[in-house]
Chains A and B, each alone.
Chain A
Amino acid sequence: MSQPASLLKINNLHKRFSISGDFLDQLSFKGGKITRTQEHVHAINGISLDVKKGEALCVVGESGCGKSTVARTVMNLLRPSEGEIHYAGKRIDNLSHRALLPYRKQMQMIFQNPYASLNPRMTINQALHEPVKFHNPKWSHGQVLDKVHEVMEAVGVDPSWGVRFPHEFSGGQRQRISIARALAVEPEFIVADEPISALDVSIQAQVLNLLMDAQAERDLTYLFITHDLSVVEHFGTRVAVMYLGTLCELADTKELFSNPRHPYTKALLSAIPKLSDDREPPIKLTGEVPTPVNLPSGCVFHGRCPYANERCTQEIPQLKPDGTTMVACHGIDEGRL
């Protein structure tokens, strides 16, 4: 079986956010000297990842681990502090607004909160017409209309509802409309930033199925950000597990769920509630997630890892293959685990 080509490649990505305000706020008077101190939130610390054509790569992790920052950096809503992002072989993270336009048509994003992601002052028709017309300036009005009708029908929204405003729809319907907006420019790659976490459970399945149907029909590739492991099991081709801005483990979905390697992944999976009574008690992690302002030295997980040794506190583990899985853990590297 030949490996499908990778569509998106993330290379050693870092993203830091300054939290010390502007230049004057950074100055402080310490020990008789004026010193300038800058503090950063280290949201992403050296992530390398590739998304293969046609797959759905799920990124999981707890709140604040940098999942959404990865999504937003990939979409160029944020500029990376370090590292590179390649799309279809071309570097895209340093392009100007104009040079990015062709990629905007190929890469689209679906947002978390359907109540905020549609402009409240625009009708559905306006919201869908604008991107189609913008990216296809030569199309006639009829062609634009046909395209808008096509995507609205594809997501199960009656085209005659187009005259209404977003507030007249339910959350599920709005999320369908934002999916329609993303599909309207005929992208091949979609970043979905927790697209179903704001929805009611009964609607989540519908929207998830809609995304899977769209993938089958339109040959889409997904980078799917979520914190819901049952969704991952249902949806993902491969899974990337993140902790505090670093990648712990990257594996095929089946492999990850049947044989998790990284201690963090193990703890994460054992926390899924199950009906059966005979399973092992969940692994309880001690302590808190460290602050991303002052990162722990070495492996970011060492403070909470039951297997951590001296090396884990010193050296940052690199993502290394272990079977079909890629895992960043000294314990596994040394064969201790």
Chain B
Amino acid sequence: MDALPQIKPSMMARFKDSHFWHSFKRDRVAQFCFGIFSLALLLAIFAPLIAPFDPYDSAQIDIMNSELPPSWEAEGDAQFWLGTDAQGRDLWSTILYGTRVSLTIGICAVMLQAFLGIIIGLAAGYIGGRVDSLLMRIADVQLSFSTMMVAIIVLAVFQAAFGTELYQQLAMVMLILVIGIAEWPQYARTIRASVLAEKEKEYVDAARVMGFGTARIMFRHILPNTLSPILVISTVQIANAIIAEASLSFLGLGMPVSQPSLGSLISSGFEYIFSGAWWITVIPGLVLVALVLVMNLLGDWLRDVLNPKLYKG
């Protein structure tokens, strides 16, 4: 037995040597997008530390400061560099908190989608037969209702049945549930497709010959091999969930004005846009567009990197 030098590459070393890292180093767009996304994530996480004001604290809000333009405009106040909204809240602080709310809803809703979609997709793909037909027909039915329609009906009925007060308390949970449940078929279908490809491979037969149970094979052997498509759709789905939340908020079915997300901020500024207070709508709008755009670009890049057919030729 010839003794090769024993190498025990660390996770970091493995990562630095991977195709993933090399392609990231080459791709300016990916670097830029990742930078912006990380910045947004950091700002959102540390919003309470960064924001000069607390937009949830009504004691800090002075109605006399309402609709002040950004500080670079003639009537601007140096205290509020992006201006204030109609209620006198500092727009910069509100955007930070709003990004936090939007990202939380986006990420949690996608986690819920992924949880449902992974379990259903794995079961449909691996067990096959009638289970597969049943689950995929349910997915088809779910997909034939547009997400917005389901969300609007559920949220409107909830608001009407339990009152606006309770709704405002539970708005975030409700949005996560509705967006999460409405979009699981995206995951289920993608995962089912890759499970169908994976389960024909001999390592699955080897696991079956070992006598491993169905759940063990599904979650420990097949699932890790379907992670790349999951990662790709997750980035796109977070962006979609943020958009869905913003649209619902814009329609008045999303986050309450007291805890605005980017969408409800845009919506609240909309009434004032013709009275000249463009910044309440435009600035959060730009933040939203930037956030969604970088996530979609990152998703595109991920898909290119993780699709072995594109680079192994």
Contacts and interface: CB of A to CB of B under 8 A. Distances in A.
A122 B223 CA distance: 12
A265 interface: no
B166 to A, nearest CB: 45
Contact of A100 (B205, B211, B224): B211
A113 interface: yes
Interface string B185-207: 00000000000000001110111
A101 interface: yes
Given A111-B202, A112-B202, A116-B202, A104 B6 contact: no
A158 B3 contact: yes
Nearest to A104: B211
B90 to A, nearest CB: 48
Contact of B209 (A77, A116, A121): A77
A64 interface: no
B303 interface: no
Given A97-B213, A108-B209, A134-B212, A119 B203 contact: yes
Nearest to A118: B203
A68 to B, nearest CB: 11
Contact of B4 (A100, A109, A156, A158): A158
Interface string A103-133: 0110111011100111111100000001100
Given A104-B211, A121-B225, A109 B206 contact: yes
Contact of B210 (A22, A72, A131, A163): A131
A111 B206 contact: yes
Contacts of A163: 8
Interface string B3-21: 1101010000000000000
A185 B207 CA distance: 13
Interface residues of B, number: 22
A73 interface: no
Interface in A159-174: 160-161, 163
B137 interface: no
Nearest to B4: A158
B64 interface: no
B299 to A, nearest CB: 22
Contacts of A69: none
A72 B6 CA distance: 38
Contacts of A158: 1, 3-4
A14 interface: no
Contacts of B202: 111-113, 116-117
Contacts of B210: 104, 130-131, 134-135, 185
A45 interface: no
B206 A181 contact: yes
Contacts of B207: 119
Contacts of B206: 109, 111, 117-118, 178, 181
A104 B205 CA distance: 12
Nearest to B211: A104
B122 to A, nearest CB: 15
A44 interface: no
B22 interface: no
B12 to A, nearest CB: 15
A115 B271 CA distance: 63
Interface of B: 1, 3-4, 6, 8, 133, 201-203, 205-213, 220-221, 224-225
